[in-house]
Amino acid sequence: MIPEIVARLQQKHRTMRYPKAAPPPMPDRFRGRPVVHKTRCVAGCNNACEAACPTGALSASTPKTIDLGKCLFCPECAAACPHQAISYSDNYQLAARERTDLVVSRERDEIEAKGAALDEALRKLLGRSLKLRQVSAGGCNACEADSNVLTTVGWDLSRFGIKFVASPRHADGLLVTGPVSQNMALALKKTYDAVSDPRIVIAVGTCAISGGVFADRPEVCNGASSVVPVDLYIPGCPPHPLTILDGLLRLIGRIG
């Protein structure tokens, strides 16, 4: 037992200081908010980026837009652009309260994060203790894994009063992942109905927001909002744990 205690003392403090300190460094291969460099985005490319996008996240309409709720954060559009007009920043702040806030104009060099806080009454009620029931509605387990990372000692989600619980009857809301398969639609609705009012729903990942690569297939419902009302959208495929944490903390007003 003594060697274990000594080893633990040598490890020192392993939980990150964020948000009281700087966030942890993002890995080199991390792809955050896409950026369109409008000085490089010129006519004559036959909209190669739109054609390359596997989910139709880029629109050639006027004004041209990027739908972060459909974006897989893959490099296909950037690779297809002959002028290298599209790149990915290291900005992890992607969450939004409204689905429309994820559809952003490509005419701007930068995309600003939208406020994601609950209204004052709900923040007073849930701000110190948020219990979530996680529902995997046909996902590939990537979003589920990155959500579960938040419960490890390095992140320690519980220090903010946010915990995952086993029963919806013990929960304040749902955290939904996956495109919501037809076989999971009724289960999701029943789980939502089992949560007491006031209740919230958080859609994590592109599949849970829009259906992702499975969108418009007869086997899926194109995301959680087709079955239950959604209060927070966290895009990504999958979203980085820091993106999920940032969205949750903004939701309960712990960060601005």
Encode pLDDT of 25-54 as tens digits: 999 999 999 988 878 887 767 788 899 999
Residue 150, SS3 per DSSP = coil
Cβ-in-10-Å burial (0-12, 13-18, 19+) of 248 comes to: buried
Distance (Å, whole) CA 62 – CA 80: 20
Q: What is the CATH number of domain 120-251?
A: 3.40.50.12280
**221 neighbors 176 (Cβ within 8 angstroms):** no
Closest CA to 54 of 36, 74, 40: 74
pLDDT in tens, 122-146: 777 776 789 999 999 999 999 999 9
Task: Indicate whether 114 pLDDT > 60.
Answer: no
